[in-house]
Amino acid sequence: MALGSDHAGRALKDFLLGHLGAQGHNCVDLGTYTDESVDYPDFGALVGNAVANGTAELGVCVCGTGIGISIAANKVSGVRAAVVHDVTSARLARQHNNANVVCVGQRVTTQEVASQALDAFLEATFEGGRHQRRIDKLSDLDKLRDS
């Protein structure tokens, strides 16, 4: 799993890294590594590219709200990044949207809620069926953009 954040999400990203490590997940920390101000598009792109090129199966992104870094990750073809705020949105992001990057905001959630949401995301599986048709349409949009 690839994790990335800007400065506003670094503490939560580090917490989630520890949380995942304690569960035995193989994680790569793509930064940022300090509280120095950085730009979330750089880290959303790093995580998105790691997922898109297969270096990582899934990504975890954190910024202040989860929004900016999700927008950045979603610019990478093949990435479906979802901002989640709780267990339900995290579970549905996987079951319905087949999200491959999960994004949370350090300024809008707690470590406890974020780690519970992340667990729910990892435990859930894509339901396919009618949702596959919609994922295919997302892939078509990627192709259109890349053409």
**Residues in contact with ligand RB5 by the rule CB under 6 A:** 6, 8, 40, 63-65, 67-68
Q: 16, 115 in Cβ contact below 8 A?
A: yes
Q: 51, 100 in Cβ contact below 8 A?
A: yes
> How near is the Cβ of 108 to ligand RB5 at its closest, in Å?
9
CB nearer to ligand RB5: pick between 9 and 98:
9
Active site residues: 63, 96
Tell me the one-letter amino acid at 57: E
> How near is the Cβ of 14 to ligand RB5 at its closest, in Å?
15
> How near is the Cβ of 109 to ligand RB5 at its closest, in Å?
12
Cis before 32 (ω within 30): yes
CB nearer to ligand RB5: pick between 48 and 68:
68
Q: 18, 115 in Cβ contact below 8 A?
A: no
CB nearer to ligand RB5: pick between 107 and 134:
107
Say which residues have a Cβ less than 8 Å from residue 113's Cβ, sequence separation at least 6: 85, 86
